[in-house]
Amino acid sequence: MSGPQAEWSQGDRALAAGKLMLAWVALLWLLEVVDVATGHALDGSGVTPRDPSELVDVVPSAFLHFGFAHLAANTVPLLVLGFLAALAGLRRFLLVCALIIVVDGLGVWLIAPAHTNTAGASGVIFGLFGFLLVSGFVERRALGVLAGVLIAAVWGGSILTGLAPTQTGVSWQGHLIGLLAGVAAAFLFRRRPEQSRALTAP
């Protein structure tokens, strides 16, 4: 159904997506304030590879950062990509993010270099990039394909740089696994044609 009711529904989705992402980012900043105030006590909750006791940090590590500069670099892409991904529905968005966070954290735990400590939202960012890049093609939605092309044009260079193994102090493994998890999520949580039509109903 089209008309004012459909437009209102789209506005509601945009408002909900915006509120969710603002709350997410606010939580990340609050956690970093707590981390600094406690002498970086939270930094130990990053993932150290192949230590069984570190498996409990797989999820928390995605919400922690090593300083405000690290967090600031992740804030804008997380806000924008998260907002765009959440527009199609918060339930699917949360499932996509949960998959990315868990797969990325486990992947880092398995293959990252020994004696490293990995944390940050960049794995989620790379995952959302991968999800948005291919979901339009998977679902055969023209608007989704256009969004994927635009996202690739804006962030594609940064994504490729983040995948380079030559960088120091950057977990290219976490970036790569996050990207692959996002692509997998686009297939696992793709909308059927009837679901796409239902999004226009009041």
Give the separation between CA 28 and CA 30, rounded to whole angstroms: 5
Tokens of 103: 């797969």
Per the DSSP assignment, residues forming a β-bridge with 47 are 118
Cβ neighbours of residue 143 under 8 Å, at least 6 residues apart?
136
Give the separation between CA 11 and CA 8, rounded to whole angstroms: 5
The pLDDT value given to residue 9 = 78
Taking only the tens place, the pLDDT of each residue in 122-136 is 999 999 999 999 999
Burial track 54-68 (b if 16+ CB lie within 10 A, e otherwise) = beebbebbbbbbbee
The pLDDT value given to residue 73 = 97
Cβ neighbours of residue 189 under 8 Å, at least 6 residues apart?
92, 95, 96, 99
Per the DSSP assignment, residues forming a β-bridge with 38 are none
Taking only the tens place, the pLDDT of each residue in 5-64 is 444 478 899 999 999 999 999 999 999 999 999 999 999 999 999 999 999 999 999 999
Question: Quick one: DSSP state of residue 169?
Answer: S
The pLDDT value given to residue 192 = 72
The pLDDT value given to residue 10 = 83
Q: What is the mean pLDDT of the chain?
A: 91
pTM for the structure as a whole: 0.91
Whether 84 and 151 have beta carbons less than 8 Å apart is answered as yes
Taking only the tens place, the pLDDT of each residue in 92-107 is 999 999 999 999 999 9
Question: Quick one: DSSP state of residue 48?
Answer: P
More confident residue, 11 or 117: 117
Give the mean model confidence (pLDDT) for residues 171-198: 86
Look at residue 47 and give its three-state secondary structure. Answer: strand
Tokens of 144: 């989704």
Say whether pLDDT at 196 is over 70.
no
What is the C-alpha radius of gyration for the chain, rounded to an integer number of angstroms? 17
Say whether pLDDT at 178 is over 60.
yes
Taking only the tens place, the pLDDT of each residue in 77-94 is 999 999 999 998 999 999
Question: Quick one: DSSP state of residue 129?
Answer: H
Whether 186 and 130 have beta carbons less than 8 Å apart is answered as yes
| CB-count exposure of residue 145 (10 Å: 0-12, 13-18, 19+) | middle
The pLDDT value given to residue 194 = 53
The pLDDT value given to residue 11 = 87
Whether 75 and 25 have beta carbons less than 8 Å apart is answered as yes
The pLDDT value given to residue 191 = 83
